[in-house]
Structure 1
Amino acid sequence: MKVFLKVFAISFIIFVLVFSVGVMAFNTLMKEDSADFDEVVARVEEDDHYDKDVEEIDELLRLVQESNRINFIVLGLDDTRSDMMMFVSFDPDEKRMDGISIPRDTYYPRQGYTGPGKKKINAAHGDHGANGVKTVVTDILFDVPVDYYITMTYQGVGAIVNSLGGVPVHISKPMIYDDPYDNPPLHINFAAGNHVLKGPDAVKFLRYRQPNPGSGALDRHGDIGRIDAQQEFIQSAISKAMGPRLPSVAGQAFRHVRTDIDLQDVMRLATAAVGMDMANVQIATLPGEASYQGGVSYYFHDPEATRDRLMEIYKGSTEE
């Protein structure tokens, strides 16, 4: 399964905030109405993973109500599944952006969907559309509102990377992995050292989780290690994106991205984001741990630590 370039999720929002490419291009290429899904998303109350301390949540929601932050959910789509999901919060007053990567295997059981795969959060998009995913993420994040969605397709990732002219990375150990059953077959083979990766190779770099058995190559130990590598990748990519290549990168992004953001909101946010320092972009992973249930691997998020992270974001904490 394909995991998308989280770095470009953040970069694209920065493009939207800092560089608007015109009314006609926006309305024609980017703005969409979410697909017509009538079914309401309802979580199954079957465990204690969602216990919420009412007093603490009241304090969080008070901070939310007093804040001018604008929140997005960014989805990287592989067919109908959202194999990349990131909550991004922009503070126009402090010119700050905070992200929380949500692992695709995050456990989220829904009423009427009993299959093991359907209990993973990445299945929600195919059943409920992008607006349904906004509802799911709002529930996981203690009713912190998600104002807008932004979706990217796998086919567009390579074009966006190429418009950057490639992204420099350092690979500490060889990366060797083959999956002949993927469609098309996946073959990853990078030597240790410095590389400038373009479209398809950058996608391979960020999809990589574990090596071929016995190869002695780099092991990222699953999705969480892969997310860590992607987050380290972001500074290099944003540095290039925010330079002279910005118009080209923004143009590619607008061709391959869909959103429910209105043009007037883009212009308002663009004005607020002028002068934003890239040091004020912080990304974390949804707190939790992976474990098995019924023989299936899920990622169970930690509600208390998630709440603490949201409190840090809304209090303006710069700690990671």
Structure 2
Amino acid sequence: MSKRSGAPRLRRTWPQRFLISFNVICIVGALVGAGSLAYAKRVVGDISRVKIDSIATLDSQGLGDQPRNFLIVGADSDDGLAANDPARINRDETVGGVRSDTIMIVRLDPKTEQAKVLSFPRDLWVDIPGSSKNRINAALQFGGPDLLISTIKANFDIDVNHYVQVNFAGFQQLVKLLDGVPVYFDRAMRDANSGLDIPNPGCVVLDEHQALSYVRSRHLKYFDTESGKWLADPTADLGRISRQQDFIKRVLRRAISQGARNPAKLSELVNVGVENITLDQNTTPGDLIALGNAFRNFDPNHLQTFSLPVTDVTRGGAAVLDLVAGEAEPTLALFRGTGEPVDSSDLDPSTIAVQVLNGSGKQDQAAEATEILRTAGFKTDEPSSATATAVTEVRYGPGQEAQAVLVARHLLATSVLVEDAEATQITVITGADFAQALLQPMDESLVSVPTTTTTTTTTAPEVTATTVAGTEATTDPASVTTTSEHAGIVPEAAPAGESCG
């Protein structure tokens, strides 16, 4: 992509759109829960509307309980921004139309109270119906919301039931209303392009300007205390997406907690949401009130975020992204409603081989966990050690996902399932989060273990195969790890004994 000169370009990115949109649903739920049904109806009735013909309708029977997909779009337009807002500087407004700078599907299931988010890279190369191949964000420019929805259906077979377009002006208002968002930085960080500047480690309450710089950061540098140098996060946009996903949960937690405690704050949050979104004409007040009621107690920690596996390529001299179709299918199935939940209840532990590796550094942890799993009936290999990791991994080979889920149910940890094409047995790598192994499995509903895939491929330097969320950064362009775990430098929770928000 061409290098831009001049002042840093400020753009609101997808977490800002999501926060404002999902916040409206949660706030409507809070209003209903507080007995303010009439106010909730008026609030929803005040939202702007746009007519769209390509919206997929839901069956009328049991409408309130059906999962539905919201297409959330943030258009690269300066509508709603003040004349002196710095976000107007060097905007990439498109003459004759407006491109979408944020495209994501939010799938909400009222029965299970599950919320999933799938983000589409705006440079994803797709077939645009009635036109030629182009970046997916060009569809909005060429034919408005109808063409964008048709493009998503044609390329990914995902139905869109509701359309939400978000105004740029709302994000900073939201953060300001929340009195900032606390983030614990374990190291100094900066990004000259976005304006991020965290000079010292510790808890920082990001104000509306710092928050914008943080979620925009794709040229992040961090201070390495061992070398005494500033090092670049090599994951670029992949790292930014990871930080955005983390930031979403932080803001949702703060918005829900502050809004629930403070009626005046709730009213202000309502106004920010209503003033900054547009809905399709078919989304009724009843739809949003039913959803809001179902999600009024939603825990942001249960938000599931997904990204598509893509490959960097050049088309006509432009840098774009190709979808890795085979690897994308399990994720796309979840948003089509065809992904089947893993059922591990009928499996016999004695048929499952497990090895435990100590990735936390705690003495005898792998040996103790191995003994408990052996007693629980698993076939266990000798324990060993592994590279230090923060989060416990359960690695498995092709076709072993159900077995991996059963093993994860025997672990008191924030387990992440990682599919490894070369694995022949289940391998548990204990992380800093690992508490202990369990003789009896937890209920499967308590285990949140999204499937990820790890493969290693060799590519030419100018074409890098990587998914939009990798687990480890690499400086070797010929060796690339593809996975849907988080990439890059992402602040973690504050150390034990320290409070941050």
Question: What is the TM-score when the length of structure 2 is the normalising length?
Answer: 0.50
Q: Say if 1:95 and 1:280, in contact at 8 Å, map to a contact too.
A: no
User: Is the contact between residue 123 and residue 137 of structure 2 (CA under 8 Å) also seen in structure 1?
Assistant: yes
Pick the aligned partner of 1:132 from 147, 152, 159. 147
CA deviations on 1:145-174 (whole Å, 9 max, x unpaired) are 110111112222211221222111234342
Q: What is the CA distance between 1:7 and its match in structure 2?
A: 5.5
Q: Which runs of 5+ in 2 are unaligned?
A: 1-8, 32-38, 55-64, 78-97, 222-228, 261-265, 343-447, 451-501
Tell whether the 8 Å contact from 2:313 to 2:322 is kept in structure 1 after alignment. Answer: yes
SS of equivalent to 1:243: helix
Paired with 1:113 and 1:312, the residues of 2 have a C-alpha distance of 28
Which residue of 449, 462, 467 corresponds with 1:319?
449
Measure, in 2, the Cα distance between the counterparts of 1:296 and 1:68: 41
The 1-side partners of 2:449 and 2:334 are apart by 8
Contact 1:107-1:121 at 8 Å conserved across structures:
yes
Q: Does 1:87 align with 2:101?
A: no
Structure 2 SS opposite 1:244: helix
Residue type of the alignment partner of 2:107 = S
SS of the residue aligned with 2:154? helix
Distance 1:210 1:91 in 2: 36
Are the equivalent residues in 1 in contact too, given 2:19–2:251 (CA < 8 A)?
Answer: no
- Are 1:300 and 2:322 matched, yes or no? yes
* Equivalent residues of 1:11, 1:241 under 8 A apart: no
> What letter is aligned with 1:229?
R
Q: Does 1:74 align with 2:72?
A: yes
Give the percent of matched residue pairs that are identical in Structure 1 and Structure 2: 21
SS of residue matched to 2:75? strand
| 8 Å CA contact 1:34, 1:130 repeated in 2 | no
Aligned amino acid, residue 258 of structure 2:
P
The correspondence of residues 1-320 of structure 1 with structure 2, limited to 5 A, is 2-6=11-15, 9-10=18-19, 12-17=21-26, 18-19=29-30, 22-28=40-46, 30-34=47-51, 68-79=66-77, 80-110=98-128, 119-142=134-157, 144-171=158-185, 172-178=187-193, 187-193=195-201, 194-210=203-219, 216=230, 218-219=232-233, 221-245=235-259, 247=266, 248-260=268-280, 261-312=283-334, 314=337, 315-316=340-341, 318-320=448-450
| Two-structure CA RMSD over aligned residues (Å) | 2.8
1:265 Cα deviation after fit: 0.9
**Larger helix share, 1 or 2:** 1
Query: 224-233 or 105-114: which moved more?
Result: 105-114
TM-score (norm 1): 0.76
Bigger relative CO (Cα 8 Å, ≥ 6 apart):
1
- How much does 1:224 deviate? 1.9
Alpha-carbon distance in structure 1 between the residues aligned to 2:69 and 2:129: 26
- The total of aligned residue pairs comes to 277
Unaligned regions of 5+ residues in structure 1, if any?
41-66, 179-185
Contact persistence 1:148–1:259 (CA under 8 A): yes
Call closer, same or farther: CA 1:94–1:14 in 2, change over 3 Å: farther
Confirm or deny: 8 A CA contact 1:68 1:93 kept in the other structure. yes
Q: CA deviation at 1:85?
A: 1.4
Distance 2:285 2:215 in 1: 31
Distance 2:66 2:326 in 1: 24
CA-to-aligned-CA distance 1:20-61 (integer Å, 9 cap, x gap): 553333323x231247xx9x9xxxxxxxxxxxxxxxxxxxxx
- Determine the C-alpha separation between the residues in 2 that align with 1:270 and 1:109: 35
The CA deviation at 1:112 is: 6.5
Q: Deviations over 1:2-31 (max 9, x none)?
A: 241416505632531524553333323x23
CA distance in 1, matches of 2:276, 2:169: 8
User: 1:312: how far off?
Assistant: 4.7
What is the one-letter code of the residue matched to 1:273?
Answer: F
Residue 291 to residue 169, structure 1, CA distance change in 2 (3 Å)? farther
Whichever residue aligns with residue 112 of structure 2, its letter is E
Residue 111 of structure 1, CA deviation = 5.8
For residue 54 of structure 1, what is the aligned residue in structure 2? none
Note closer, same or farther for the CA distance 1:192–1:299 as it changes in structure 2 (3 Å cut). farther
> Which range moved further: 194-203 or 95-104?
194-203
